[in-house]
């Protein structure tokens, strides 16, 4: 599922940077005005990768192919790659045009992207989270989206997705915001859900048995 999640992350990144979902919806409403959809070219922009495990490493490589400058924040100081710069979190947030999150859910990482870290972010940056929902303070995220402080965000995970409340999705503030605003994209935790990844998982389990 690592490759599948990395590919979804990059797909969400492209959707936001080029306003693809909004442009498709525009055409489906029988309109044809490209002037409404000026986007961001990735070439030459700075990609900030938080977490340099197998997923973060793939995303950094994708960014390198798109000729982006790559900044990485990783708690393991022994990791290195000559193509990328390993930096402290504040430097990454201040200088990245696009930020992707690839760290584990833990008590330490709960609300890792909080009010303080949001304040360090470059204005009009884009935030992508395909890791775990509790890593981002969702209340602050909404405020930053509403004010236009960040240009957009895309989530494949939410804090409430494992709630016992059967109606949680109707009450979730991020989903309700996304229904009326184009700068937030949310997918239903589909990162690892592909035919290929499912077949690989099944084959792995069969081989083990």
Residue 86 DSSP SS3: strand
Distance of alpha carbon 5 from alpha carbon 148, whole angstroms: 27
Residue of 57, 74, 138, 189 marked catalytic: 189
Q: Give pLDDT, residue 70.
A: 98
Residue of 57, 74, 102, 132 marked catalytic: 132
Q: Give pLDDT, residue 181.
A: 97
Question: Do residues 137 and 115 lie in contact, with contact meaning Cβ atoms separated by under 8 Å?
Answer: yes
Q: Give pLDDT, residue 80.
A: 77
In the residue annotation, 18 being an active-site residue is answered as no
In the residue annotation, 179 being an active-site residue is answered as no
In the residue annotation, 189 being an active-site residue is answered as yes
Residue of 7, 61, 91, 161 marked catalytic: 161
Question: Do residues 185 and 154 lie in contact, with contact meaning Cβ atoms separated by under 8 Å?
Answer: yes
Q: Give pLDDT, residue 203.
A: 66
Q: List per-residue pLDDT tens for the chain, 209 residues long.
A: 799 999 999 999 999 999 999 999 999 999 999 999 999 999 999 999 999 999 999 999 999 999 999 999 998 877 778 889 999 999 999 999 999 999 999 999 999 999 999 999 999 999 999 999 999 999 999 999 999 999 999 999 999 999 999 999 999 999 999 999 999 999 999 999 888 877 776 666 777 77
Distance of alpha carbon 144 from alpha carbon 136, whole angstroms: 12
- Sign of the alpha-carbon torsion through 41, 51, 123, 160: positive
């Amino acid at each position: 599922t690592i490759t599948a999640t990395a590919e979804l992350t990059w797909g969400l990144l492209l959707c936001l940077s080029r306003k693809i979902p909004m442009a498709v919806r525009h055409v489906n409403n029988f309109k044809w005005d490209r002037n409404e959809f000026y986007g961001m070219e990735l070439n030459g922009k700075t990609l900030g990768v938080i977490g340099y495990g197998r997923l973060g490493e793939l995303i950094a490589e994708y960014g390198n192919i798109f000729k982006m400058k790559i900044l990485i924040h990783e708690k393991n100081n022994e990791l290195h790659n000559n193509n990328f710069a390993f930096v402290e979190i504040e430097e990454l947030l201040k200088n990245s045009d696009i930020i992707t999150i690839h760290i584990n859910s833990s008590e330490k990482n709960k609300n890792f992207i909080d009010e303080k870290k949001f304040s360090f972010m470059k204005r009009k940056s884009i935030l992508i989270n395909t890791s775990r929902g509790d890593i981002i303070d969702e209340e602050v995220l909404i405020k930053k989206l509403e004010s236009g402080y960040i240009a957009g965000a895309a989530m494949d995970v939410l804090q409430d997705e494992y709630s016992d409340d059967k109606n949680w999705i109707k009450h979730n503030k991020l989903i309700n915001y996304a229904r009326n605003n184009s700068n937030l994209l949310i997918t239903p935790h589909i990162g690892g859900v592909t035919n290929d990844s499912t077949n690989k998982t099944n084959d792995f389990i069969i081989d083990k048995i």
